[in-house]
Chains A and B, each alone.
Chain A
Amino acid sequence: MKLNKKTVISLIPKAVLLILLLVIINTQLTESVVTGTFEKGLVFSILALGIFISFRILDIPDLSVDGTFTLGVAVSVMQAFNGDPIKGILLSIVAGAIAGSVTGILITKLNVQPILAGIITMTALYSINLKIMDRPNISLYKKDTIFTIAQKYFGDYYKLAAAGIVLVIAAVLLFWFLKTQAGMSLRATGDNEYMVRASSINSDRMKIMGFAIANALVSLSGAMYAQYSSAGDSNSGTGMLVVGLASIIIGEIFFSKHSILCGILAAIFGAVAYRFVLAFAMNHGMDSNYTKLFSACIVALAISLPAIKKYITKAYKRVCSDK
């Protein structure tokens, strides 16, 4: 899809709506909370992009995400702890891609059910992550991270800048990739596997590649998050799939899911909006222990909405015909 006038115009009202929502939320929050929330939103946008690939493009919910997020955290925090934060970020991408390929191979070559394959990888990664970190949590207090490096160049908004730059690079690369022949084959694999095989595309290889890219992004997000919060925790990946799904679902309220550009924008805006909704809820006294419950409810509600609508229509019909 080209960025023609019509598409841009159709995006404007949604963007305005989103900004309006954000402003309403913002009036309730202090400036430092707003900046912090925004920064976190950008970091978790990368997670949402990864989940967008497995959940929306390949149409398979990938549970290995909970493990690969922590994998990114572990790799990144260890490298930063040893004084090389940039290497940590880059290595985490590779590690995530390898872990994703394992899930992909389990699903395609070894015929494991997709959900189970994800659980297997996630469980295996739990040990691997602990092995990498050597202890359950590590602090990067007084250590260099990519954010402290950015501080030298970007002044006050260095965290926003660092997170933003990484996100933009990831999003642009992903957008470009999905427009290439390989990317188009990947999209078609999630859309219609029969057609893909009949067009001489190796659907198994495409799926493995898809999971590799998805988990590379998730792991990158984890790596960024660890250096952002200057700490690594072996439990930080718990519930990340649901958080990512909630982000995508929120984003899709504003952007249709029918084009690649919209899908990517939905993941990014959704992740940011999700953080603001969360900050708003916590500002109004929600216990921070409830954040995962909160995202679980959002996802359950959004996915069950069509079914709920059907029940309501049915009930409505019954009442009307009784009259």
Chain B
Amino acid sequence: MLKLENINITFNKNTANERKALQHIDLDVADGDFVTVIGSNGAGKSTLMNVISGSYEADTGKIFLDGKNITHLKEHQRARTIGRLFQDPLRGTAPNMTIEENLGLAYSRGKRRSLTIGIRKKDVSVFRERLKELDLGLEDRMKMPVGLLSGGQRQALTLLMATIVTPKLLLLDEHTAALDPKTAEKVMRITDKIVKENALTTLMITHNISNAIEYGNKTIVMSQGKLLLTIEGEQRANMTVEKLMKLYSDTAEDELSDKMILQE
């Protein structure tokens, strides 16, 4: 489904601040895979997401999605088939527009934005059904500006927006990191449910190691811009947080960040 070939990115090339953010990344994600991505700060996790989504362009290398070369497509062109969630809940929704209007925009993903009316009557009932599934009571507040919702509600709504037209690939960039633990757990459960129901190919960055093991079917570990480990199958089934931390410190040159350890 998603294939990365020898991706390299260097920031601030030829200056004192030169940083090799991604080095020789090769990645193969099969259809229906739910891959979790962990690594310390600055390991290149977010850069990886940004390269796939088109926010950054790779210096070298190729990206294929569903057999199509998307290396040179622009961000909004790739967004036709890639759903995306940011760490910051404010980024995923338009605050001054209503819940309904936000969903309306997401619902025409991949289509030409025409002069037909933005939200049709039959769309509203679809939105209501989907919002009900989130179980946050949002279906009764569809005329409310999104800016009035809490971070967790906004993130759940963004998740719905990213998947209301089934994407080929879903990118989650620490999408629960800015939420309080209880809300984070709820959003994570909703995520898992939506991903499973639609058998979505998903890439999820997380700072929460137990989440990384609990959810998905594959885990990749990054360090200093490189793919360090891929954990899957039996090895993954027997994995615990302690084992993973040990595995990491045995192979990587740096330690998993304090933030990650404190999470446990």
Chain A residues closer than 8 Å to B106, beta-carbon distance: 199
* B108: Cβ under 8 A from any A Cβ: yes
**Residue contact A200 to B96, C-beta cutoff 8 Å:** no
**Residue contact B118 to A192, C-beta cutoff 8 Å:** no
* A182: Cβ under 8 A from any B Cβ: yes
One digit per residue, 1 when the CB lies within 8 angstroms of any chain B CB and 0 when it does not, for chain A 1-12 equals 100000000000
**Residue contact A180 to B79, C-beta cutoff 8 Å:** no
**Residue contact B115 to A191, C-beta cutoff 8 Å:** no
Chain A residues closer than 8 Å to B96, beta-carbon distance: 187, 191, 258
Of residues 93 to 143 in B, which have CB atoms within 8 Å of A's CB atoms?
93-98, 101-102, 104-106, 108-110, 113-118, 143
Partner of B79, one of A185, A192, A200: A200
**Residue contact A181 to B113, C-beta cutoff 8 Å:** yes
**Residue contact A192 to B114, C-beta cutoff 8 Å:** no
* A25: Cβ under 8 A from any B Cβ: no
**Residue contact B77 to A1, C-beta cutoff 8 Å:** no
* A179: Cβ under 8 A from any B Cβ: yes
Min distance, Cβ B26 to any Cβ of chain A, angstroms: 26
**Residue contact B115 to A199, C-beta cutoff 8 Å:** no
Min distance, Cβ B226 to any Cβ of chain A, angstroms: 27
Partner of B91, one of A1, A183, A192, A258: A192
Chain A residues closer than 8 Å to B77, beta-carbon distance: 200
Min distance, Cβ A81 to any Cβ of chain B, angstroms: 35
**Residue contact B118 to A199, C-beta cutoff 8 Å:** no
Q: Given the known A-B contacts A181-B113, A181-B114, A181-B115, are A198 and B105 also in contact in the complex, defined by CB atoms under 8 Å?
A: no
* B76: Cβ under 8 A from any A Cβ: yes
Q: Given the known A-B contacts A184-B105, A200-B76, are A195 and B91 also in contact in the complex, defined by CB atoms under 8 Å?
A: yes
Given contacts A179-B118, A195-B91, A199-B105, 19 further A-B contacts (CB under 8 A): A180-B114, A180-B115, A180-B116, A182-B113, A182-B115, A184-B97, A184-B104, A184-B118, A188-B102, A188-B105, A191-B94, A195-B94, A195-B158, A196-B76, A196-B94, A198-B84, A198-B86, A200-B79, A201-B105
Nearest CB in chain A to that of B77: its residue: A200
Q: Given the known A-B contacts A185-B113, A194-B86, are A199 and B97 also in contact in the complex, defined by CB atoms under 8 Å?
A: no
**Residue contact A181 to B91, C-beta cutoff 8 Å:** no
* B75: Cβ under 8 A from any A Cβ: yes
* B92: Cβ under 8 A from any A Cβ: yes
Classify chain A: how many residues form its interface, as a range: 20 to 34
Partner of A192, one of B95, B115, B162: B95
Consensus secondary structure, chain A interface: helix
Of the listed residues A1, A195, A199, A201, the one surrounded by the most CB atoms of chain B closer than 10 A to its CB is A199
**Residue contact A180 to B117, C-beta cutoff 8 Å:** yes
Chain A residues closer than 8 Å to B95, beta-carbon distance: 191-192
Chain A residues closer than 8 Å to B86, beta-carbon distance: 194, 198
* A70: Cβ under 8 A from any B Cβ: no
CA distance A180 to B101 in the complex (A): 10
Partner of B101, one of A177, A182, A184, A196: A184
* B37: Cβ under 8 A from any A Cβ: no
Q: Given the known A-B contacts A1-B143, A194-B86, are A181 and B76 also in contact in the complex, defined by CB atoms under 8 Å?
A: no
Chain B residues closer than 8 Å to A221, beta-carbon distance: none
**Residue contact A179 to B117, C-beta cutoff 8 Å:** yes
* A203: Cβ under 8 A from any B Cβ: yes
Q: Given the known A-B contacts A200-B80, A201-B76, A201-B113, are A192 and B104 also in contact in the complex, defined by CB atoms under 8 Å?
A: no
**Residue contact B109 to A200, C-beta cutoff 8 Å:** yes
Min distance, Cβ B92 to any Cβ of chain A, angstroms: 6
* A202: Cβ under 8 A from any B Cβ: yes
* B61: Cβ under 8 A from any A Cβ: no
**Residue contact A180 to B76, C-beta cutoff 8 Å:** no
Of the listed residues A191, A192, A194, A195, the one surrounded by the most CB atoms of chain B closer than 10 A to its CB is A195
* A197: Cβ under 8 A from any B Cβ: yes
* B145: Cβ under 8 A from any A Cβ: yes
